[in-house]
Amino acid sequence: MQTIEIKGNKTSKILIGEKLENLENYLPGKNVVIVTDENVDKLYSHKFPDFPKIVLGTGEKIKNLSTVEKIIGHLIDLGIDRNGFLVGIGGGIVCDITGFAASVFMRGIDFGFVSTTLLSQVDASVGGKNGVNFDSYKNIVGNFNQPSFVICDGNMLKTLPLKEIKCGMGEVVKHALIADKTMFEMIENNYDKALSLDDEVINELVYRSVQIKSGIVNKDEKEKGERKKLNFGHTLAHAIEKHSTVSHGEAVATGMLFASKVSNHYGFINNNDLSRIENLLNKLQLPVKTDVPVESLKEAIQKDKKKNDKNIDFVLLKNIGEAEIKKVSINEVKSWIDKFL
């Protein structure tokens, strides 16, 4: 097992290679409540420690304040007080909701995660951002608060549908592109092993992703500067997600190729690196194009911003493994959409 620490508002230990079976070792003896979703419950509840359990539905539509209310109602019924401990066992949706519910219940109780999807192990459960959606606004209600621990059990990934592995790989490639050239080369050489969840390869990719993300979060927990680099590919991705049913990791892939083309246009990455990025995304079976009409994408990017905010912090690649944040006008981004999509 490997441990990486995040020192935010509290110290958070990310435990890579730890097992669900050992979860109990990280929990207090009482006042613990488990939050999970139907799918994870069916597959793994026989391995859960013996504590009360709240089982949520699945999908982005349940990531809202009424689900938080439901959890809070259960906690009150169970007589949980300030010494309570909430443990989320699931993907990004379960972790985002659990972290938020724990943060607001009685002004905040301790919590931890068992992260069960590739996307949540490499991204969602790392970094202390918790929250839910409101109307059509994603993650608009939330807070920064670190979980005490995050268990990343590689064995649990074996039951994931291939589509979820591909989506997680989108964020893994993002980490390599913004921060680690040798990791990018490693994925180029092992993309098939990654998709088939070869133990050694996937463990290494989860470890390096968490190392990159936690390194950035340790420098800039509240996203004032450096942490914005993690938004590479996400400006377009969010616009695609607004107008389609494409999954986040897939939308990020399309957004990363777009941002790479813009980087190439500004003379940062060369043509060869641009083709390497496109080839790798293709090999990982991630989409590099979108069917969403350019006018809808432009409208979504415009609407995403606050009324008086005319600029976007757009993340460009200087090289494979090196990112730079550039403040650009929304009109400029719209012109790139016309040019590159």
Ligand X SMILES: NC(=O)c1ccc[n+]([C@@H]2O[C@H](COP(=O)([O-])OP(=O)(O)OC[C@H]3O[C@@H](n4cnc5c(N)ncnc54)[C@H](O)[C@@H]3O)[C@@H](O)[C@H]2O)c1
Among 34, 93, 281, 320, binds ligand X (CB under 6 A): 93
Where would I find the H helices in 159-198?
Answer: 162-179, 181-195
- Segment 195 to 254, residues that bind ligand X, using CB under 6 A: 248
The binder of ligand X chosen from 160, 194, 281, 317 (CB under 6 A): 160
At 120, list the tokens: 């949540």
Residues 12, 71, 84, 96: which binds ligand X (CB under 6 A)? 96
Nearer Cβ to ligand X, position 137 or 266?
137
Closest CA to 179 of 5, 28, 321: 321
x-or-dash string of contact with ligand X, 271-290, rule CB under 6 A = --------------------
Among 8, 84, 90, 255, binds ligand X (CB under 6 A): 90
Q: What are phi and psi of 181, to 5 degrees?
A: -65, -40
Contact call for residue 91 and ligand X (CB under 6 A): yes
Handedness of CA 297, 299, 302, 306 (dihedral sign): negative
75: tokens are 């906690």
CA angle (220 as vertex; 214, 226 as ends), nearest 5: 95
> What is the chain's alpha carbon radius of gyration, rounded to the nearest angstrom?
20
* φ, ψ of residue 111 in degrees (nearest 5): -155, 160
Among 15, 23, 32, 40, binds ligand X (CB under 6 A): 40
Distance, in Å, from the CA atom of 274 to the CA atom of 254, rounded to the nearest integer, reads 13
Does 152 contact ligand X by CB under 6 A?
A: no
Listed ranges 5-13, 39-47, 64-72, 275-283: which one lies at the site for ligand X (CB under 6 A): 39-47
Position 172 contacts ligand X (CB under 6 A): no
63 lines the binding site for ligand X (CB under 6 A): yes
Give the Cα separation of 235 and 312 in Å (integer).
9
Please provide the distance, in angstroms rounded to a whole number, between the alpha carbons at the two ends of the chain. 43
Check residue 155 for interaction with ligand X (CB under 6 A). Answer: no
Footprint of ligand X on 301-340 (CB under 6 A)? none
Chain positions contacting ligand X, by CB under 6 A: 37, 39-40, 43, 58, 60, 63, 90-94, 96, 116-117, 119-120, 123-124, 127, 129, 139, 156, 159-160, 164, 167, 248
